[in-house]
Amino acid sequence: MKPGIHPEYREVVFHDTSSDTYFVIGSTAQTARTIEYKGQTYPYMTIDVSSASHPFYTGKQRTTQNDGRIARFNKRYKTGGTK
């Protein structure tokens, strides 16, 4: 690797503001703020959505029922009798 062209890789505290959760993750994200977290000083970055607050990961997502063409056909022309 060429020296001096790669960003600094370090541990950064990411704060999910919607669920008030903190994550310490290795990152090259540049930030001017720092935070004292569990006795150490880390670079600090806020985020809006993470796995702690996203509906897909929390299981609170709304599912929409989109029937396909075959399902709609079978539903519309379903016969009540046995064959």
The string of pLDDT tens digits covering residues 19-67 is 899 999 999 999 999 999 999 999 999 988 887 877 666 666 665 556 6
- Tell me if the pTM is above 0.75: no
pLDDT at 62: 61
**Residue 53 to residue 19: CA distance in whole angstroms:** 6
State the amino acid at position 70 in one-letter form: I
- N- to C-terminal Cα separation, the chain: 72
pLDDT at 57: 63
Least confident of 39-43, 66-70, 75-79: 66-70
Average pLDDT of span 3-22: 91
**Residue 21 to residue 37: CA distance in whole angstroms:** 12
